[in-house]
Structure 1
Amino acid sequence: MRARDVVELVRLPAVLTIPGDSLAGGAAAGWPYGTRGWAMPAASACFYLAGMALNDYADRELDAVERPERPIPSGRVRPGEALALAAGLTGAGLGIAAAVGGRTAVRIAVPVAAAAWTYDLVAKDTPAGPAVMAAARGLDVLLGAGGRPRRAALPASAVAGHTLGVTTLSRGEVHGGSRRTGLAALATTTSAAVAAAVAALPRRRGRRADDTLPTDDTLPTDDKRRAVAAAAFAATYAGTVGRAQAGAARTPDAATVRTATGAGVRGVIGLHAALVAGTGAIGLAGGLLAAGPIARLASKVVSPT
């Protein structure tokens, strides 16, 4: 295999949409792995790239008809090579998770990998396909949360919901979709954006009976800042992804659906940024969002879908 063929096989630019999963989970859970947690996105990336290679392995016969230019049907990559690459990347992801988080991380990493393989080899063409993919991404968020999954339940649900909508919509990339799937994807995007904004709102803490609830003027500056930042990032996410999905709802032809799917794949970065900003890590959120333009430019060279 040539390097260029591998890049196309695994849709390398799309990997920029993955680190935010475990970072959002880690931020929500208070960084359970400490400085080692910065390696967890590498495990997530390995699982994602493995899933992409496995996807083309599983779809090789269909792609020979619908997308003969893809690496396997075009003969540039042999099926066995794609399968071996998927297995190797999965093993690498499990190894990184074990090194970073020990048994606690492995207990979550194994289901992440299992969900990815189940989706590609069993569930993708069934009604359960989108739900399995959504479960994989939701579990990937929990991977960053370590042994504190409850703290990351909301970001995991938001990312899973986003994935459910995008995966369902993506089924119309070749033959076109429907107005209903476009509207359903738009609904999941809206729900995820609202969840990210609500999660950043200041929590009511214990108070005496004669205390009054804090007003906007009495909230700590840090609470205000993170709430405003999360709302801004959430609005950006909803605007970019939602606009494309609204277009797919109005005109659900294959080309428009592909455009909306690509926007959804890349747009999860904005959701990650909103979720991370809501924990107070605004600088990290800004760094995540900066990956969006890079992914968009790279997708013009190698399609993420």
Structure 2
Amino acid sequence: MSPRADATPDAALHAGARAWVELLRMPALFTVPGDALAGAAAVAARPDSRTLLAVGCSLCLYEAGMALNDWADRDEDAVDRPHRPLPSGRIGSPAALTAAMALTAAGLALAARAGRPALAVAVPLAATVWAYDLALKHTPGGPATMAAARGLDLLLGAAATSGRTREALLPAALLGTHTLAVTAVSRQETRGGSPLAPLAALGTTGLLTLLLTHRRGGPHTTDDTFRTALAAAYAATAARPYLHAALNPSPPLTQRAVAGGIRAMIPLQAALAARSGARTTALLTAALAPVARGLARKVSVT
């Protein structure tokens, strides 16, 4: 058998794996664990096995949403993004829908293992993901629905770890606010459009940075410095691409703004954990940022 014939199955396998990496937007996956970790930090609970189950649930539901998103948008992508895995024929539509259903079931199973409080949050989270992709994405309520999903994901970590969510409502609202801004920008990433959405996202980033660095009084501490550094990393990751998109809301710059907003979730989650006093959790979350950034150079997160 010739070397060329030997290489053919390996090449096909590599191409198939690459297609699924693109469909599931693997670099964006690193923005997910920080939700549950920040939720656990908000209720002053140390991450444990139930937190890990919540992280697993979050990862499954996030990837279910990615597969379902492309399945729902397959006709639109055939016009605007024919290189995507479904319109290009590298992955079949039934396979993407099956993956979405299987990942949703796996996520809910992991939440059930974490306990009834976690499942009570995971069920509406899964419903929100499916409602967004199948019905609400292109409606005025789309960005708010996506924001709700991210907020629920943070609450999932709190519920799984401690059985409580009340203390995590404010961090969930802050994360949801950032998500709302990113999603609003993403609605014009294929065709470009008005500078209003990136300008609003830029203002939102500034407001959230101020809230993250606000001190209640008393002497300045090393924890304050640490939280401020993470907040600055968040602002730096999101603000520059937002500004570029506001100055020139072309599709390429808008897509970069969306990618920057997605990557900025990691330092935001880390800053939220630091704001709750969980320095180790914040460091672990922040460590995901360079990994996500490196993979994003190879596979698009949008």
TM-score by length of 1: 0.89
- 1:190 maps to 2:206: yes
| 2:117 is the counterpart of 1:114 | no
Further displaced range: 25-34 or 137-146: 25-34
Equivalent of residue 245 in structure 1, options 228, 238, 242: 242
CA RMSD of aligned residues (A): 1.6
Could you tell me how far apart the structure 1 residues matched to 2:297 and 2:232 are?
25
SS state at 2:270 partner? helix
Rounded to whole Å, the distance in 1 between the matches of 2:71 and 2:218 is: 56
- The answer to whether the Cα contact below 8 Å between 1:229 and 1:278 also exists between their aligned partners in 2 is no
1:254 pairs, out of 224, 227, 251, with 251
Distance 1:298 1:32, change over 3 A: closer
77-86 or 4-13, larger mean C-alpha shift: 4-13
Structure 1 runs of 4+ with >3 Å offset: 32-35
- Which of 97, 107, 129 does residue 111 from structure 2 map onto? 97
Match of 1:180 in 2: 196
Shift of 1:33: 7.0
Q: Which runs of 5+ in 2 are unaligned?
A: 1-12
| Counterpart contact for 2:22–2:299, Cα < 8 Å | yes
Aligned counterparts, 1:1-305, within 5 A: 2-31=16-45, 34-100=48-114, 102-146=115-159, 147-198=163-214, 201=215, 215-216=218-219, 224-305=221-302
Aligned 8 A contact 2:263 2:289 in 1: yes
Residues 94 and 106 of structure 1 are in contact (CA less than 8 Å); yes or no, is this contact kept in structure 2?
A: yes
| SS state at 2:157 partner | helix
C-alpha distance in 2 between matches for 1:191 and 1:121: 32
Could you tell me how far apart the structure 1 residues matched to 2:146 and 2:206 are? 19
Give the drift of 1:179. 1.5
Distance 1:20 1:35 in 2: 15
Percent identity at matched positions?
47
Amino acid at match of 2:120: R
**Match for 2:255: what amino acid?**
R
Distance 2:48 2:21 in 1: 32
After superposing the two structures, state which structure 1 stretch, 134-143 or 227-236, moved more: 227-236
Structure 1 residues 276-285 or 69-78, which shifts more?
276-285
8 A contact 2:41–2:281 mirrored in 1: no
Contact 2:37–2:281 (CA under 8 A) maintained in structure 1? no
Q: How far off its partner does 1:32 sit?
A: 7.5
Q: Please give the alpha-carbon distance, in whole angstroms, between the structure 1 residues aligned to 2:37 and 2:205.
A: 20
- Tell me, yes or no, if the aligned pair for 2:57 and 2:111 is still in contact at 8 Å: yes
Contact 1:10 1:53 in 2 (8 A): yes
SS in 1 for 2:44: coil
Cα deviation code 1:202-247 (max 9, x no counterpart) = 5xxxxxxxxxxx7417xxxxxx232221121011101221121111
Give the conservation status (yes or no) of the 8 Å contact 2:158–2:165: yes
Q: Say whether the 8 Å CA contact 1:25–1:145 is kept in structure 2.
A: yes
Could you tell me whether the CA contact under 8 Å between 1:226 and 1:279 is conserved in 2?
no
Q: TM-score, normalization: structure 2?
A: 0.90
In structure 2, distance between residues paired with 1:5 and 1:90? 20
Measure the CA separation in 2 of the matches of 1:34 and 1:151. 18
